[in-house]
A and B are shown apart, each in its own frame.
Chain A
Amino acid sequence: MTISSAPDEALVLAAIEQVWGSMLFASAAPWPADRPAEFETGLQAQIELRGDWNGRLVLTCDSVVAGQIAGAMLGLGPEEQLDQPDVHDAVGEVLNVVGGSVKGALPGTSALGLPGVREVTAVPARDESFVVSWGDAPVYVQIVPDAA
C-alpha cells in the first residue's frame, strides 16, 4: 500500500478546523462553491513544507478577518485594535500551527519553514484553492506544490 505524502484538502481542512476551534474559539466549514467569496485587500500567509512532498500552504483572508483572527487569538474584545505587525504575526502563527499539524500527519515530511505574511489586493483563483468560513467571511486556502 502506498501512503500519500502530499497534503490534500481533507487533511488541511481538518487541521484548520482544529486550530479554529482550539485557538480561535470559532468553527470552520467549507464555503459553498456557488457563493461569492470576494474581497479587495487582505493578508496572505504562507509556509513551506519540505520532505517527500515539497511545497507550501497559503492562507489568504480579508484585512478585517485578519484583525478578527488576531483578536480572537489574544482574547481581545471587539473594540480593541492590534497594530498591523501583530496582526501579521498572528495570522502567520495560525498558519504555522496548521502547518505543524499537517506535517505531523504526513509521512516523510522533514521540515516546516517559518511563516511569511504579506498584503495582497486580489483573491486567489477559486479553482486553485478551497475556501473555508471565518464567521460569515471567506478564507482561501491553497496547497501549492513546488514547480516541477
Chain B
Amino acid sequence: MKILIADDSKVMRQIVLRTMRQAGFGHHEFVEAVDGAEAEQLVASESPDLVLSDWNMPNKTGIELLRALRGGGNPVPFGFVTSEGSEEMRETARAAGAMFLIAKPFTADHFESELSGMLG
C-alpha cells in the first residue's frame, strides 16, 4: 500500500516514518508532503491508500485538506498525527471523516493499534 505522510516538519516526517517501521509497517511505500496544499496535489497524482497528516501546517491545514478531499468526493482513509489531542479536536476530525487522531508524543503501539486492522 502507498502511504502519504503530510507534515511541515521534516524531522517529524522522519519520526512518523521511523515509528511506522517500528510498528511493523515499514514494507509499505511512503510519500511525503511538506504541507496540506502539496498533500492535496499528491493525493491526486499518487492515489495513496492512506493519508497520515499533521493538523497545523502552513498553506493548507490538515483539517482543510481533509475537508477538501471529502468535498471533492475522495474517500481516501485519513488519520491525523498531531500535537493536539483534545476531545474537541477528535470530534472535529471524526465529523470531517478522519479514521483516527494520534496525538504527539506517540509510540509505535499507537500506530499499531490504529492501523493493524487496515495495514495488516
**B-contacting residues of A (Cβ < 8 Å)?**
18-19, 22-23, 70, 73-75, 85-86, 89-90, 92-93, 96-97, 99-101, 103-104, 112-114
Contacts and interface: CB of A to CB of B under 8 A. Distances in A.
Interface in B11-37: 11-12, 14-15, 18
B104 A100 contact: yes
User: Chain B contact residues: over half helix, strand or loop, or mixed?
Assistant: loop
Interface string B57-93: 1100000000000000000000000111110000000
Interface in B79-120: 82-86, 103-107
Interface of B: 8-12, 14-15, 18, 56-58, 82-86, 103-107
Contact of A18 (B12, B56, B84, B105): B105
Given A19-B105, A22-B107, A23-B105, A93 B84 contact: no
A23 B108 CA distance: 12
A115 B115 CA distance: 29
Given A75-B18, A89-B12, A114-B8, 8 more contacts: A22-B107, A74-B11, A86-B10, A100-B82, A104-B84, A104-B103, A112-B56, A114-B58
B11 A86 contact: yes
26 contacts: A18-B105, A22-B106, A22-B107, A23-B15, A23-B104, A73-B11, A73-B15, A74-B11, A74-B14, A75-B18, A89-B10, A89-B12, A90-B9, A90-B11, A93-B9, A96-B104, A97-B104, A99-B83, A100-B82, A100-B83, A100-B103, A103-B86, A104-B85, A104-B103, A112-B56, A112-B83
Given A75-B18, A112-B83, A93 B12 contact: yes
B27 to A, nearest CB: 20
Closest 4 CB pairs of A and B: A100-B83, A22-B105, A100-B84, A90-B11
A97 B105 contact: yes
Nearest to A87: B11
B105 A96 contact: no
